[in-house]
Chain A
Amino acid sequence: MHPFSKRQRRILPGFGLSMGYTVFYLSAIVLVPLSTIVISTIGIEPERFLAAVSSPRVLASYRLSLSSAFFAAIFDAGAGFLTAWTLTRYRFPGRRFLDAFVDLPFALPTAVAGICFATLYSPATLPGQVLSRFGIELANTPAGIVVALIFIGFPFVVRTVQPVIAELETEIEEAAQSLGASRWQTFRKILFPHLFPALLTGVTLAFARSIGEYGSVIFIAGNLPFKTEIAPLMIMSKLDQFDYDGASAVAFVLLLISFIMLLVLNGVQRWQQKAYR
């Protein structure tokens, strides 16, 4: 008997077939392949696992991936909120055009974004030269990684905050203002607390995506050991040396971090739903 059928009356046809195929395809493409990381990690002796995951170079890469994703997400919180606000509240020429281009980071292949930022901020091109005159070096530095991740995470924040701003009740603002609150007070005390859960969801999404990001980062990062090697790159370089155990171990920890982020996200979203009920 099918594990899910509880003998309740179902009018529509195709439950068994569609559920069966869904579970089968999910297992074949996602669950079974993902389990290989766990299985091959279990196969490694504990000392070798620890040695692989806690080598200074790997630790540095985890630290870099997490910290650059964090700073990029913080920047995206500001830029994304600002963009969502201006695009939904104001009317100005080119607004729809900008709105469509919010999705560029989703649509543009990461490798293309990668070579763009690497070239843009290299010492050989004008923007790179201008910034370096102000003492800002982006090529082959963690700051450059943050720039690439800001690009990647940006649409996540805009697209989660935008609909909540669009649905703001104007009555509340008007009530606050008729009671004598200034615009800034209304924003700080009423609008922002209302928008905050959505902002947090967007920022968490951007952060989670940035931790595993590879294509847009490796070109501008320069991949200097201990300095600008991100965690996914460590997996890649262990694979290149046919060190499958090492690659699995590093991947296992990264996967663990991603799943923790998923749980956090779930909590944040549940909180958001509660906040908007």
Chain B
Amino acid sequence: MQQRQNHTASPSRTPAKNDPLAVQAVLIGLTLLFFAGFIFMPLALVFSQALSKGWQLYIDAIREPVALEAVKLTLLTASIVVPINAVFGVTAAWAISKFSFKGKTLLVSLLDLPFAVSPVIAGLIFVLLLGSRTPFGSWLGDHGIKIIFATPGIVIATLFITFPFVARELIPLMESQGREEEEAAITLGAGGWRLFRMITLPNIGWGLMYGMVLCTARSIGEFGAVSVVSGHIRGMTNTIPLHVEILYSEYNYTASFAVASILVFLALVTIGVKTALEQRLEGSHNTRH
């Protein structure tokens, strides 16, 4: 249930008769006002709060061992989740875009399910499935495997949350590209793997990267689901967003915003990469309707 990926198309022509300049000025002014209040003020606040007690405290808050552990766990989670969901995304997009079969519409809407589920519920389902209270969870516990309130739980919940990103990006892209190129390659005697590597992968490269960027951003920033399954053991099962919350609830605002500024920085990088990729992606979409 994400936004439908429409790579911001800038119209080639502006309407011959555009709105009067006065109307334009008022509407642009209102837009700027909204952005100032809802987008730029919060961003500025993060840095002003983070640096309110000087650079030294800022750096100390980030270099604190517990904060570094949180960074490590977050990066570990993203490095497991993103490749797994990328492989799935490519596989699902291949099946859905290159073949016709019964129940395709249903399958595509099932892929979107995680977007419709509250993050808290996303965490809850894994507690219900794998927690020590359940038969399966207690069996795992007897064999020394702890999933809920431990790192594997965070990874699994994040897998669920970021499940649709790559597939959602690739399905429309591969559908618009059709299957002629691949069919020609097969007719010319190319094997499956060779076909994928030489034809499909270069065609979907930018789209795949775009999906992976969105997937990475979400897996780093996920809060609700991870909060349910983490059990909040400081320095053990804290991701960066959870660490931000703990510091904030301890009234340690400066440190909280200092750690949050890492996430803001990553969000800005995500926006930059996203914008750059969108321009390239416009070329990959084959507009044959």
CA distance A214 to B227 in the complex (A): 10
Which residues of the partner chain A approach B6 to less than 8 Å between Cβ atoms? 159-160, 162-163
C-beta contact mask, A75-88 vs B, less than 8 Å → 1, else 0? 00001001101111
- In chain B, positions 1-42 with a C-beta closer than 8 Å to chain A are 1, 3-4, 6, 8-11, 13-20, 23-24, 27-28, 30-32, 34-35, 38-42
Q: How many residues of B contact A (CB 8 A)?
A: 105
- Asked if B59 CB lies within 8 Å of chain A CBs, one says no
CB-CB under 8 A for A236 and B88, given A86-B27, A205-B1, A215-B241: no
CB-CB under 8 A for A255 and B121, given A18-B92, A119-B253, A167-B9: yes
Chain A's nearest CB lies how many Å from the CB of B279?
10
Q: How many residues of A contact B (CB 8 A)?
A: 105
Which residues of the partner chain A approach B110 to less than 8 Å between Cβ atoms? 26, 30-31
| B248 lies within 8 A of A109 (CB) | no
- Asked if A19 CB lies within 8 Å of chain B CBs, one says yes
- Asked if B163 CB lies within 8 Å of chain A CBs, one says yes
- Asked if B119 CB lies within 8 Å of chain A CBs, one says yes
- Asked if A139 CB lies within 8 Å of chain B CBs, one says no
Chain A's nearest CB lies how many Å from the CB of B42?
4
- In chain B, positions 202-231 with a C-beta closer than 8 Å to chain A are 214, 217, 220-224, 227-228
| A99 lies within 8 A of B8 (CB) | yes
- In chain A, positions 108-163 with a C-beta closer than 8 Å to chain B are 108-117, 119-120, 125, 127, 150-151, 154-156, 159-160, 162-163
C-beta contact mask, A230-260 vs B, less than 8 Å → 1, else 0? 0111011001000010011001001100110
| A19 lies within 8 A of B248 (CB) | no
What 8 A-B pairs come out closest when comparing CB atoms? A212-B118, A109-B221, A215-B223, A116-B42, A214-B224, A18-B95, A232-B120, A159-B3
A interface residues with partner B (beta carbon < 8 Å): 4-6, 10-15, 17-19, 21-23, 25-26, 29-34, 36-37, 40, 79, 82-83, 85-92, 96, 98-101, 103-104, 106-117, 119-120, 125, 127, 150-151, 154-156, 159-160, 162-163, 166-168, 170, 173-174, 177, 183, 202, 205, 208-209, 211-215, 219, 231-233, 235-236, 239, 244, 247-248, 251, 254-255, 258-259, 261-262, 265-266
